[in-house]
Structure formats: C-alpha cells, structure tokens
Amino acid sequence: MENRLMEVAGPPALIFMWSSAFIAGIIGVGAAPPMLVLFGRFAIAGVLLILFAVVTHAVWPRGRVLAHTIVAGLLMQMVQFGAFYTAMGEHVTAAIISLVQGLSPIVIAVFAGMLGETVTKLQWLGFGIGGLGVGLAVVDQSHFSLTGLLLCLLGLAGLSLGTVYQKRFTPKIDTRAGTAVHMAVSAPFAGAMVLVGGDFHVSDPARFTGSLIWMVLINSMGAFLLLNTMLQRWDTARVSRFFFIIPAVTAVMAWLVVDQPLHPLTIAGLGVGLIGTVLASLRSSAGKQSATPAPEPLPEIAATPLASSPR
C-alpha cells in the first residue's frame, strides 16, 4: 500500500512543491537580499528538521557517512540555491531558472555510470525529447545576462553533482536525519555570505515572511524529504526525469501567481516534455531492472508517515 501510494502521489507532489519554490524565491528575493532569504530558509528549516528527526528517533550519520552527507548537502543546498537565488536577484525569471535546472536529468545521466546504473538508448531519446520540451516551454522568456546564465549553470552543477554524490556515498542514510544535516550545515555558509555582503534591508516584511514560511515548510522540508526518500527507493535516472516537467509547471504557476505571461509555446513544451518523460520511464514500466538496483529503504524510514504520504 505504501509503495503504491508513493508511485501515484509522490511524483506529482514533488513536481508541485519543487515548482512552487521558484515562485516563493522570486517573491522572497523581491523583498530582501538573496542570501538573507537563503539564510532564513536554511536556519529555520534546519532547526525544525533536527527536532523532527529527534522526535521520530531518526538514525544520525556518523564518521565518514556524516562527512559525505555534509558534502552532498552543501552541493544540493548551498551551491544550488545560492546560485539560483543570486540569479533571481539579477532579474532572471523563474521560468529560465527552472529551464536550466530541468536539464539536470541529462547531466545526471552522464554520471550514471558512477552509480552502476544503465541508461538505455530509448531513455536517452526520452531525455533528448524532454530537453526539447523544456526549451519550448520557456523559449519566449530567454532573455538574460551572462552573469545570470553562469549562476544558473552553477546551480545546475550543484543539484546534479549533489544528487549523484548522495546516491553514490550515502544511499542508505536515514532520510530524516540526512535532510536535517543538509539544511543545518548550509545555514552558516549562507549567514557568512550575508555578513560579507553587509545588506540586511528587508523592503517588504510581509512578503519576506510569507515566502520564508512556504520555502521552509513546503520546499526545504516537504520537497527534500520526499526527494531523498525517492532516491532511496528508486534509481537516480527514474527520479531525475520528473524534473523535465517542472519548467512548464513553473511557467504556469508564475503566470497565475506573479503574472508572468503564458505563451502557446509553453503549453507545447509541456506536452513534449511529458512525451519525453514517458519514453524515459519505459524501462521501469517494462519491468527491467538497472544494473544496480535501488537500495531498499531502512526499516526505520519505511515505518514512518514520511514514506507513506505525500508532503
């Protein structure tokens, strides 16, 4: 029952929560400096996740596993979001940032061999079509500076390398404790960058507070707990293909929430991206297994609501 619920509800929940992060980020960065927003997100989420892990008796990583967890957390949190939030401060749109982030399955697939996973020719075709769909979804919003582009690419590298690193070196870590460590170790780095920048001005406290609440509860806690659980249950390529859909969903949400225009090509991109996702998933649908099967979840995790309900 738990596995079935994760199969049905997990992907759409992850896509919605991940897409909403771009909208909350745009709102937050419009009200306060990017690093101040990021520090608030990491610090509050870190404290809440540590409390959650303690209350639910999570198994904390130690020794070398803890060191690997810290590296993965800094890549997936500080590097990725530090670059993306700074790009938002450079007026790069949510759609463009999600476009670049949506290329992560291709980058991850290149490194899939490090995990012993096999990517078939049909899956590569699906990745290619999915990438085309991502491009179509935001082609009318493709005006950005060189600095903004480089920041987006840095954020893409953080997410992709962090995902591969986590899967390679901490495949069986307790999701609750691992996510708490990711946030907790990233907060001091963001705080240091706030001090270096020296900008503490909040122009709109209400928007700043509202965006932080959403980013902490929905994005930092819900989305990453769900993502890390999926990475334990499924292979990396299967999880990463959901990111093809996120740019089009983000564009729709940006149109509804922050009044960014929704063009016909965005709708076309969504359709093409879905086709690519289907092709990229055919191996799993056919019941074939990757060269290295995804590890089973720890008993402690499987017994908690974390692994049985969408966030």
Q: Please enumerate in sequence order all residues whose Cβ is within 8 A of that of 277, keeping only pairs 6 or more positions apart, or say none.
A: 126, 130, 241, 242, 244, 245
Q: What are phi and psi of 138, to 5 degrees?
A: -130, 15
Distance CA 88, CA 286 (A): 41
- Full-model pTM: 0.76
- Asked if residue 217 lies in contact with residue 225, where contact means CB atoms within 8 angstroms, the answer is no
The predicted-structure confidence for 108-148, as pLDDT tens digits, reads as follows 777 766 566 677 788 788 878 877 877 777 666 556 577 88
What is the pLDDT, as a whole number, of residue 294?
35
Distance CA 311, CA 308 (A): 10
The predicted-structure confidence for 94-108, as pLDDT tens digits, reads as follows 878 887 887 777 777
What is the pLDDT, as a whole number, of residue 108?
77
Stretch (H or E) spanning 159: helix 146-169
- Asked if residue 61 lies in contact with residue 69, where contact means CB atoms within 8 angstroms, the answer is yes
With the C-alpha atoms ordered 226, 278, 162, 218, is the resulting torsion angle positive or negative? negative
Distance CA 136, CA 118 (A): 28
269: DSSP letter: H
What is the pLDDT, as a whole number, of residue 299?
29
Kindly state the tokens that stand for 248.
């089009």
Residue type for position 163: T
Number of other CB atoms surrounding residue 279 within 10 Å: 20
What is the pLDDT, as a whole number, of residue 309?
30
What is the pLDDT, as a whole number, of residue 306?
28
Q: Please enumerate in sequence order all residues whose Cβ is within 8 A of that of 98, keeping only pairs 6 or more positions apart, or say none.
A: 19, 22, 138, 246, 247, 250, 251
Q: Please enumerate in sequence order all residues whose Cβ is within 8 A of that of 54, keeping only pairs 6 or more positions apart, or say none.
A: none
Kindly state the tokens that stand for 249.
């969903």
Kindly state the tokens that stand for 137.
């979804």
Kindly state the tokens that stand for 263.
């063009």
What is the pLDDT, as a whole number, of residue 194?
95
Number of other CB atoms surrounding residue 259 within 10 Å: 8
What is the pLDDT, as a whole number, of residue 204?
94
173: DSSP letter: S
Exposure on the CB side of residue 226, measured as CA atoms within 13 A: 27
With the C-alpha atoms ordered 11, 49, 218, 109, is the resulting torsion angle positive or negative? negative
Distance CA 148, CA 152 (A): 6
- Asked if residue 127 lies in contact with residue 237, where contact means CB atoms within 8 angstroms, the answer is no
Q: pLDDT tens digits, the chain, 311 residues: what are they? A: 667 777 778 889 999 998 999 999 999 999 999 999 999 999 999 999 999 999 999 999 999 999 999 999 999 999 999 999 999 888 888 878 887 887 777 777 777 665 666 777 887 888 788 778 777 776 665 565 778 888 988 999 999 999 889 988 998 889 889 989 999 999 999 999 999 989 899 999 999 999 999 999 998 888 878 887 887 788 777 787 777 778 878 888 988 898 777 778 777 877 887 787 677 666 544 444 443 333 333 222 222 222 223 23
